Every structure is written in C-alpha cells, then in structure tokens.
Amino acid sequence: MGKFDGKVVIVTGSSAGIGQATAVAFAKEGAKVTIHGQNNDRLKATEKLMLEAGSKIEKIWIVSGSVEDEDVLKKIVDETVKKFGKIDILINNVGIAQKPGTTDIFTFDNFDYVFQVNLRSVVKLSWLAMPHLEKTHGNVINVSSIGSLRPYPPTMYYTMAKAALDHFTKTMAVIYGPKGVRVNSLNPGAIETQFMMRHGISAETQKHIFENTMAPNTPMKRVGTPEEMANVLLFLASEQASYMTGSIVVADGGRSLHNDSATIDPKLLNVK
C-alpha cells in the first residue's frame, strides 16, 4: 500500500528532470497522476517509467501543450477532474530561464515570456485548481529556485519571476490556510537535469559547469538529483508536513550559503 493511494496529483513540466522524477515517485506510492509537457515522446517515456514503478495505465493521464496557452491550463484541471474525480495535490514544476533562441536576455520580449511561463501560468493554474483543492483540503507545491534568494544577472528575469513566485506561495498560504489548503515552495539548487541543455548549452559544457563551478561552490561538493527533489516534494505533499504552509524549503546542498570566504584557506584568516 502506497503513501498516496487514492490521491490525485497534477505535475506540470513532467516530461523530464524534477517533474519526471516526481511523477514517478508519486506513481510508486500509489497516486493517480496527470503528467504534462510539450514533448509527447518524453511524456510517453515518463509514462513508461511510472508503469515500471508499479503504476497502472488507468492511473495515468497525459496532457500536452504550452502553459502559455490558458486553454491548456484549463484542460489540465478539467481533464484531471473528469478522469479521476478530484484533485488532491498540484505540483507547479514548469519553468524556463529564457525564451528559446533569445540572444539578448534583457529584452522585454524575453521578460514577457519568462514571466508568462514561470509566474503567470502558475498563478492561473493555481486559481483554476483551487476550488477542487478546497474540497479535498489538498495542497500546492510551487517549484521555485535558490535564484529567488539573491541577484544573478545572467538570468535576471528568471530569478525575478522566481522571487515573485515565492511571494505568491506565501500569500496563497495566508489566503487558503483557513480553508484547509496548504501552499509551499521547493527551492532547488543545481540539479542534474536537462535544464541548461534546453537553453542551448551542450551536455559537455553542462558537465564542466557542474564539476568545476557548481560542485566546488556547494558545501556538499556535488549537485543534486531529480530524485532527491522528488523526495522533498513527496514529504511536503504528505501528512508528515501537515503543519507546514507558506514555507520556502531550500534543498541545494548548501549552495545558497556559499561565499568567497568559504574557499579561502583558514590559515589566511587566522582561524584555529
């Protein structure tokens, strides 16, 4: 018997990375899961992994399309309720750092796209799902980023959108706490996904960045895995986290704690 038997979960952006690992993790724990993405082949790959984890085909629903399209967002909610009868958990995982093909990241075209995907779609989908979550006393988990916690100029609009998403998480927790709905956020650090490659960075370059920049500047000296993030999401969605709402949960191996002094020889600082 799984921890989420009888529960209905929506996971956006679940064709790869954290979203895929999360869909598989919920499936393994007995949940009925709606998965979402834009690449049908990768969505079928997610479905295959879910079946291998012990799910049944009748417990999986696939919705394909861009979250920029409000009809797709409505479809995610409506088809989930039609298929499974309710919604217990909404995982807003979809996100992107910049518009595909963008060379100047500071254009307003890029600004509009990044905020549309990372913020507006999450807000809209949450509003659409909330009446159903009120009925089940369910919960929402928004996948943000440690980028929301401090400036990072190369992805300025992305980190701005994630900071706004954190504020949305806290505000929705205040509004819906009295109605029995919890709203939390997971803020990952560097994770072994295709995120960089989706932005034109080669697998070789990504590996170099992880090994030579991210890992050395992380106290745990490694990047995280999608499965580790899925475990945090399962915890936040579970009754074990029943008194948690409005929480910004950082899971980054200590990356957000890094500063220049951490790489300085203690002898130079006269530390004993």
- Give the active site residues: 158
Query: Between 108-115 and 156-176, two packed helices, what is the crossing angle to 10 degrees?
Result: 30
DSSP string, 118-146: IIIHHHHHHHHHHHHHHHHT-EEEEE--G
Query: Between 121-136 and 156-176, two packed helices, what is the crossing angle to 10 degrees?
Result: 20
Q: Write the burial class of residue 64 (CB in 10 Å: 0-12 exposed, 13-18 middle, 19+ buried).
A: middle
Beta-bridged to residue 60, according to DSSP, are 33
